[in-house]
Amino acid sequence: MKELNDRIMKDGRSLGNGIIKMDRFLNHQIDPKLMMMAAQELVNRFAENKRINKILTVEASGIAPAILIGYLMKLPVVFCKKAHPSTMSDFYSAKVHSFTKQNETHIIVAKDYLTPKDHVLFIDDVLAFGCSGTGIVDLCNQAGATIEGMGFLVEKSFEGGRHALEQKGVTRIESLAIIESLDNNKIKIKATS
């Protein structure tokens, strides 16, 4: 998506070690107009799949695109939690490794909100190593829910997340901006087709 590519080139900052800071528009400060354009584009890419009946995401940065996509598609949005709320008794849990933070966390979803009837579109801001997505596959397998696809605003293709998710059986993955390399702190984005 040209507008997103342009914004990454303008406001993204490569910090070395494959890390790109996009906190001016994506995951700390958010530009709602850009986020709505991205949401609309992801809706368009999955529009032909009429089975999708739920949007799934993970707190926190996934919530903004997910709620806009849920609004546009008229579907409920469920965000998986990273901590176990004291009021939640019956839930599925999956381990997620974070390469950035070098730790293991868990993502959690109440059994009430992920069931065999669900045909899920998973939405997140960034696809890197695919760790969150892999955790989502695990949760959906536990619940008997079907993953119809996954949509990301930004993919760091050099970190291999797409392959990791395909290995887990995800057949449809869409990313709006694909960063091919951050070598020498230079942001290289795949040309929009």
Report the interface residues with a copy of itself, using CB under 8 A: 15, 19, 21, 23-24, 28-33, 35-36, 59-60, 63-64, 67-68, 70-71, 74-79, 81, 85-88, 100-101, 109-110, 112-113
Q: Which is nearer to a copy of itself, 147 or 165 (CB)?
A: 147
**Cα-Cα-Cα-Cα dihedral sign, residues 79, 80, 82, 85:** positive
Dist. CA 135–CA 143, nearest whole Å:
12
Dist. CA 67–CA 72, nearest whole Å:
9
- For the CB of residue 43, give the shortest distance to a copy of itself in the complex, in Å: 12
- For the CB of residue 53, give the shortest distance to a copy of itself in the complex, in Å: 12
User: DSSP secondary-structure letter at 191?
Assistant: P
Residue appearing with tokens 């890197």: 128
Q: Which is nearer to a copy of itself, 82 or 168 (CB)?
A: 82
- For the CB of residue 101, give the shortest distance to a copy of itself in the complex, in Å: 7
- For the CB of residue 191, give the shortest distance to a copy of itself in the complex, in Å: 27
Dist. CA 65–CA 99, nearest whole Å:
23
Q: Which is nearer to a copy of itself, 64 or 170 (CB)?
A: 64
Q: Which is nearer to a copy of itself, 88 or 187 (CB)?
A: 88
- Which pair of structure tokens corresponds to residue 85? 């709320």
- Which pair of structure tokens corresponds to residue 158? 């050099």
